[in-house]
Amino acid sequence: MPHRLAVIVATPAHSTVVGPLSYLSELPLAPGTLVRVPLGRREVLGVVWDADPAAAPPPADLAEKPIAGVLEGVAPLPAAWRRLVGFAAGYYQRSPGEVALAALPVQLRGLNAVQLARRLKRVAPDLPATAQAAGAPALTQQQQQALAQLQAGPGPFLLHGATGSGKTEVYLRAVQDLLERDPGAQALVLVPEINLTPQLQSLFVARFGAEQVVALHSGLTHPQRLRHWLAAHAGAARIVLGTRMGVFASLPRLRLIVVDEEHDPSYKQQEGARYSARDLAVYRGRLEGATVVLGSATPSLESWQAGERGRYRRLAMPERIGAGALPRVRVVDMNHQPKKAVLSPPLLEAMAERIARGEQSMLFLNRRGYAPVLACTACDWKSDCPHCSAYRVFHKIDRTLRCHHCGFTERVPRACPLCGNLDIAPLGRGTERLEEHLGELLAGVRRPDGGAVRIVRIDADTTRHKGTLEAQLAQVHGGEVDVLVGTQMVTKGHDFRRITLVAALNPDSALFSADFRAPERLFALLMQAAGRAGRDAAQAAASEMWVQTWHPAHPLFAALRRHDFAAFAAQQLQEREQAGMPPFAYQALLRAEARTQEAAQAFLNAAREAAPGLEGAEHVVLYSAVPMAVQRVANVERAQLLAESTSRAALQRFLSAWQPVLLSLREKGLIRWAVDVDPLAV
């Protein structure tokens, strides 16, 4: 007699099919087994799911289809992994199939039995990991204390360590201690961005050997990702390094989870299931009995408050390795500088002195391209995007106007498209223009060997091609660069030993933003940028962080001068509590995209009108529908509605009850909608 199976598949977004589908199998299959099943006219990958004893049996007249096959050789996905997926799907209001199948390698969906068997043979052998002790530096006292606390309690732990305090070595030793105690254990180490993965991977490979370490991130080819995933799933890989997608890696013997730079917004997924990898890492640690370490020099206010209330155990590492001092912060009042000066004369002089001494400087401007806008001096024309409510950025290097939202690109016009005026000029400044301007300002400055100043720009435009980022970073590390110009890509995690001066240009836009999280992000970014200076203890005393601002009296800069994150966090948390903002309240956004703004807001208003009477609604405040900050992208109008509650549980009950209502609404012109739980931008 055939066995009935509950199978989850990647159902389309907003499908009314949100739970497992029923299929038949000649043999009983364990939950977690990967199978191929017919779905409509296609054959898709599915996961045998745990049967719900309370679920009603399928109708007697339903013609249940048999499964098409089983992926032989791949062990069933563990129960803890399935519980993680189930929790993420429920909390973030998505279907289990969408979450589960997005976490699996794409190649699993199309390989036949012979191809899969060939891939399985390439998985590294299951060998015990051993640390290469000779390559391990001696620990400082604060590192030893942090490790001792990690070993003494369950956590979760918040490792609050200054930039350059040796957090990475603590991660390495924590992994080493784990594998020495339990040779079969596995560790997961998450980083916020792909460009931080190679250097971290080289450290772990040098310490533990290449056969023990695999990476999981979107920069891998499909065959690489499948091979690494299989090695982790089989237990052959003891250490998995990954970006946010790594939180869903199948690790049957997971005992340690590290989330480096835990404050970084990149851990929040912005498409599909909008999950927070950091928050899921904490949940997964509790689920599997694994130790969780969240590390940062500038923790998120949510994590900091959890430490204040005792939910996380806080570990402090305030001192830099080698007794090196944190850079001196100098705030430059641009109100007292020459008009239209891009770099203040004192900053320019300080850079020239360092170049003459053979030291490096870094200029941080979080805006790529040559200029954010190209404008006509005779009429009101600006380089707006015809498909978005945003301007196209002027890129001088290839003479294009490029929209950073939809990608629409055109050659720069010879004259104004409206009035024919030939005098069209760039407004504002991006990293490309800054690089050019620096070349002009530093033309007369000479290096110790008498050579001209060498300037390198690192941003999303200069690192598009494979291997270019690694090559540029090698130039910086090798001393072949005098001035590094970059966006936030260069402010995180890099161990630049020769940089003694870091300057932040034009950071003021975040000071008075409508986004209540903007000051938190700015402070973290400036602290991280400052941390790139003076990492060599011999040069630490002379290292400086310069901040050019039109608002030098702002309290954020007072805390930055003292490198006092605790004071900044206390002030921000006090303001948040008074305003009833997270982490003292819980939020979710309902976002809608439609052909017109009216259709998008009509859907949101209909959803709001249907909300009273739903479970938990009495504890939830629904605000009016409003256009999003960038209202139109690629000719699609966007709007959002905020739901807020002082109770996380009440908000979750309400969202669950609201979901079928949203699925039932059929607004003409609506393209798609999504619920974003714990949004980063409101």
How crowded is residue 50: how many other Cβ atoms within 10 Å of its Cβ? 15
Q: What is the CA radius of gyration of the chain?
A: 27
Instruction: State yes or no: 392 annotated in a binding site.
Output: no
Query: Is the bond preceding 252 in cis, omega lying within 30 degrees of 0?
Result: no
Check the annotation: does 337 bind a ligand.
no
**Which own/partner pairs from 146-149 qualify as long-range (CB within 8 Å, at least 24 positions apart)?**
146/170, 146/315, 146/317, 147/173, 147/174, 147/177, 149/313, 149/315
Closest CA to 241 of 184, 178, 196, 304: 196
Q: Which amino acid is at 188?
A: L
Confirm or deny that 121 is annotated as ligand binding: no
Where do the DSSP E strands lie in 119-238? Answer: 157-161, 186-190, 213-216
CA 48 to centroid of chain Cα atoms: 30
Beta strand ranges found along 34-78 (DSSP E) = 34-39, 42-49, 65-66, 69-70
The amino acid at 562 = R
How far is 532 from 534, CA to CA, in rounded Å?
Answer: 7
Distance CA 488, CA 365 (A): 8
Q: Find, among 618, 636, 628, the residue nearest to 676 by Cα.
A: 628
Structure tokens at 595: 């052909």
Non-local CB neighbours of 223 within 8 Å, separated by 6+ positions = 107, 119
CB 671, CB 595: distance < 8 Å: yes
User: Does residue 362 contact residue 354 with C-beta atoms inside 8 Å?
Assistant: no
Question: Which residue is it, tokens 């929040």?
Answer: 268
Q: Is 406 annotated as a binding residue?
A: yes
Tokens of 329: 């912060």
The dihedral over CA atoms of 255, 261, 263, 267, expressed in degrees to the nearest 10, equals -70
Q: Say if CB 187 and CB 240 are below 8 A apart.
A: yes
User: Rounded to an integer, what distance in angstroms lies between the CA atom of residue 502 and that of residue 360?
Assistant: 9
Burial (CB count <10 Å: 0-12, 13-18, 19+), residue 233 = buried
Q: 411-433 b/e with 16+ CB inside 10 Å = b? A: ebeeebeeeeeeebebebbbbbb
82 is in an annotated binding site: no
Q: Is 288 annotated as a binding residue?
A: no
Residue type, 180: E
SS (H, E, C) 513-553: CCCCCHHHHHHHHHHHHHCCCCCCHHHHHHCEEEEEECCCC
Long-range contacts: 142-146, Cβ < 8 Å, 24+?
142/166, 142/316, 142/317, 142/318, 142/319, 143/169, 143/170, 143/173, 143/317, 145/315, 146/170, 146/315, 146/317
Kindly provide the b/e burial profile for residues 487-505, where b requires at least 16 CB atoms within 10 angstroms of the residue's own CB. Answer: bbbbbbbbebebbbbbbbb
Contacts for 158 with CB less than 8 Å, ≥ 6 apart: 262, 294, 295, 296, 299, 303, 304, 306, 307, 312, 313, 314, 315
Residues making up the binding site: 376, 379, 385, 388, 403, 406, 416, 419
| Residues annotated in a binding site for Zn(2+) | 376, 379, 385, 388, 403, 406, 416, 419
